[in-house]
Amino acid sequence: MADQRTAQTPTPAEDPYEAAARAAAEDPERYWLEAAAAIDWVKAPTRALDDTRAPIYRWFPDGELNVCYNALDRHVAAGRGDDAALVYDSPVTGTQRTYTYAELTDLTARFARALADRGVAKGDRVIIYMPMIPEAVITMLACARLGAIHSVVFGGFSAKELAVRIDDTAPRAVVSASCGIERTRVIEYKPLLDRAIELAEAKPEFSVVVQRPQAPAQLRAGFDLDFAELMAATPEGAPCTTVRSTDELYVLYTSGTTGKPKGIVRDSGGYATALAWSMPHLFGLRPGDTMFTASDVGWVVGHSYIVYGPLLAGVTTVLFEGKPIGTPDASTFFRVIADHGANVFFAAPTAMRVIRKEDPDGEFMKSHDLSSIRAWFMAGERLDPGTYEWTTQKLKEATGRDIPVIDNWWQTETGWPIATNPIGLRTFPLKPGSPTKPVPGYAIEVLDAAGEPVPAGTEGLVVVRLPLPPGTMATVWGDDERYVSSYLSAFDGYYLSGDGGMVDEDGYVYVMGRTDDVINVSGHRLSTGTMEAALASHPAVAECAVIGVEDPTTGQVPRALVVLGGGQAAESDAQALRDELVARVREQVGPVAALKRIDFVPALPKTRSGKILRKTMRELADGRADVVVPSTIEDPAVLDGLREVLASTTGERPAN
């Protein structure tokens, strides 16, 4: 008689998640070489991992390919040219347009040719500063086609931040648009671009500008080219340039703990392999399905799951130019899902929190047809249990089905999820507050400050044992040393994520927040150091600290404590000075910094070695009951004097 227990309980070998996790851990060479077969290589790799420069690892060292070919041409070659590749849905302009794989290939190839005709070649950098319009995707893919390295800069950053990135990458060209359209206003990009080029020492040779009717730009003869005119004058496309797997596909800047952003370098073959693997295994998506990721191409989520992931997998991607609310209202995401039959939706938890505020009963979900949706992904910040419960419940009320609401944890650095509920392999029972399990290929551990593993269920520093899987950062642009010192040298053999958290007895991962001075505002990753540098540039400021304080809607909000050079300002002058400082941060960092609250204080609490106690201040501002004041504090009276000021912002916290 058959053993009932054996028949009903899958053994680990039969469980696709366990099997994948074990295979990727025990024989990464074989596992990822097999995964690489999902990509069309010009020269197929014979090896997966190159560890000759450990701790800097490289993937598929002898492979050669073109990523644009894999995202576009090969689907056309396979007879899918008439299938939808990209659906542009723009409530801010009232536009909906579908591009087939054949059309997107043609446009991309022609724009690549236009760039190549003006000297852009393999290895050159191209900065992209654009709103969420099809030309942004076309430009990214055109660069990939030529083997040029793109670097997309989020539109909410200032001219100064753009200039920093121009100087770091020294691009041959910049591609932009005349304007972006935000919830409340049209933002002219061209003056910001001109100012950035003026500020930067590295001068691009030319720019290409998409002229938009909402605010056409003045083009400078001999430097600025009109995107549409270029396309009209370029009937022939450029072929795909073969690159090495290890050649750079893009550089994407992310906020670090210092004022200088880090240029995260992504390779070609490892990234293509990882994304192609992730689409069916983590997102449950296959050719012909539709993915709607409501992020921005300026962020890593946009790179991986608006552009490259879906297109590499032959999935239709929705490019959405709008916001969760105000374009025109909190129904917009659900309307887009219904209009385009999206099977998977992906956004930041902040988006659900702002929708919930406007539509607490989820009426907009109920009034749209969400029958196509299979899973609802959230990332960019921790999915707090309150938002998780609300979203799950309202989706159930709207659809009558249990749609998994999936938190997935990752970073610009990793390029794809580190921990998630891998629905294409196996759907684990959800635990609110946890992004579930490590993705196969990532060996997550939690260490204490001395580098010792902590017991299950204890919080510590979340690290990943090296090597990281394919698709993760190759290095910091032009600075291997910074890669090693920022990420790889804290604990020998580990990648330091910069996040704190724990792993419980069942192997579920919990990520609670940054352990450094990076903050997360509305799903945007920002550096407090950059904001401090902007404040400190004001002559009245002697010293300052910016901390991220919990906020029920945006996750965190920045808040500044400023010591004035000439002593405390009179209250009448203080407001004017505050306004000046807020304007300065907006001007130097960008509107996205959203610093609104500034307190003038007599002194900042420090350790005896002079380090400002930002973490302690943050905990006090968050109203935590368990704040431990470091024994190394120089003068406890300074901190005591700030307790009231800090507590005065303690508001409602996200539900835990």
By the criterion CB under 6 A, which residues form the site for ligand COA? 154-156, 180, 182-184, 187, 295-296, 299, 301, 323-325, 347-348, 350-351, 354, 379-380, 522-524, 591-592, 594
Binder of ligand AMP out of 359, 407, 550, 622 (CB under 6 A): 407
Residue 410 in tokens: 């990752």
Determine contact, residues 370/337, Cβ cutoff 8 Å. Answer: yes
Residue 110 CB, nearest distance to ligand AMP (Å)? Answer: 32
3-class DSSP assignment, residue 293: strand
Cβ-based nearer residue to ligand AMP, 207 or 411? 411
Residue 27 CB, nearest distance to ligand COA (Å)? Answer: 33
List the interface residues with ligand AMP, window 148-207 (CB under 6 A).
Answer: none
Stretch that binds ligand AMP, among 214-222, 327-335, 406-414, 608-616 (CB under 6 A): 406-414
Residue 348 CB, nearest distance to ligand AMP (Å)? Answer: 8
Separation between Cα atoms, residue 175 and residue 316, nearest integer Å = 25
**Conformational region of residue 382, where left means phi above 0, alpha means psi within -120 to 50, and beta covers everything else:** beta
Binder of ligand AMP out of 435, 440, 471, 548 (CB under 6 A): 435
Separation between Cα atoms, residue 497 and residue 476, nearest integer Å = 15
Residue 185 CB, nearest distance to ligand COA (Å)? Answer: 7
Residue 66 CB, nearest distance to ligand AMP (Å)? Answer: 27
Q: Which does 591 bind (CB under 5 to 8 A by kind): ligand AMP, ligand COA, none?
A: ligand COA
Q: What is the sign, positive or negative, of the torsion defined by CA atoms of 364, 368, 371, 376?
A: negative
Residue 610 in tokens: 């002079």
The answer to whether residue 528 forms part of the interface with ligand AMP (CB under 6 A) is no
Strands 555-564 and 597-600: parallel
Q: Which does 510 bind (CB under 5 to 8 A by kind): ligand COA, ligand AMP, none?
A: none
**Number of residues in the chain:** 656
Ordered alpha helix ranges (H), 457-517? 480-483
Kindly write out the interface string for residues 231-270 of this chain, putting x where it contacts ligand AMP by CB under 6 A and - elsewhere.
-----------------------x----------------
Cβ-based nearer residue to ligand AMP, 409 or 494? 409
Binder of ligand AMP out of 169, 350, 412, 522 (CB under 6 A): 412
The answer to whether residue 499 forms part of the interface with ligand AMP (CB under 6 A) is yes
Q: Which does 511 bind (CB under 5 to 8 A by kind): ligand AMP, ligand COA, none?
A: ligand AMP
Determine contact, residues 64/42, Cβ cutoff 8 Å. Answer: yes
Residue 543 in tokens: 């010293």
Q: Which does 268 bind (CB under 5 to 8 A by kind): ligand COA, ligand AMP, none?
A: none
The answer to whether residue 614 forms part of the interface with ligand AMP (CB under 6 A) is no
Residue 349 in tokens: 């938890």
Residue 12 CB, nearest distance to ligand AMP (Å)? Answer: 26
347 alpha-carbon distance from chain centroid: 11
- Please report the beta strands in 552-656, taking only residues with DSSP state E, as ranges in sequence order: 555-564, 597-600
3-class DSSP assignment, residue 458: coil
Residue 513 CB, nearest distance to ligand AMP (Å)? Answer: 6
Cβ-based nearer residue to ligand AMP, 161 or 194? 161
Query: H or E element: which one contains 552?
Result: none
Residue 26 CB, nearest distance to ligand AMP (Å)? Answer: 27
The answer to whether residue 411 forms part of the interface with ligand AMP (CB under 6 A) is yes
Stretch that binds ligand AMP, among 107-115, 197-205, 374-382, 536-544 (CB under 6 A): 374-382
DSSP state of 81: T
The answer to whether residue 550 forms part of the interface with ligand AMP (CB under 6 A) is no
Determine contact, residues 130/175, Cβ cutoff 8 Å. Answer: yes
Count of residues that bind ligand AMP according to CB under 6 A: 21
Identify the CA nearest to 133 among candidates 335, 302, 311: 302
Separation between Cα atoms, residue 477 and residue 471, nearest integer Å = 16
Separation between Cα atoms, residue 512 and residue 569, nearest integer Å = 38
Cβ-based nearer residue to ligand AMP, 41 or 510? 510
**Between helices 159-169 and 571-588, what is the axis angle to 10°?**
40
Separation between Cα atoms, residue 264 and residue 224, nearest integer Å = 28
Determine contact, residues 60/270, Cβ cutoff 8 Å. Answer: yes
Q: Which residues bind ligand AMP (CB under 6 A)?
A: 254, 299-300, 379-383, 407-412, 435, 498-499, 511, 514, 520, 525
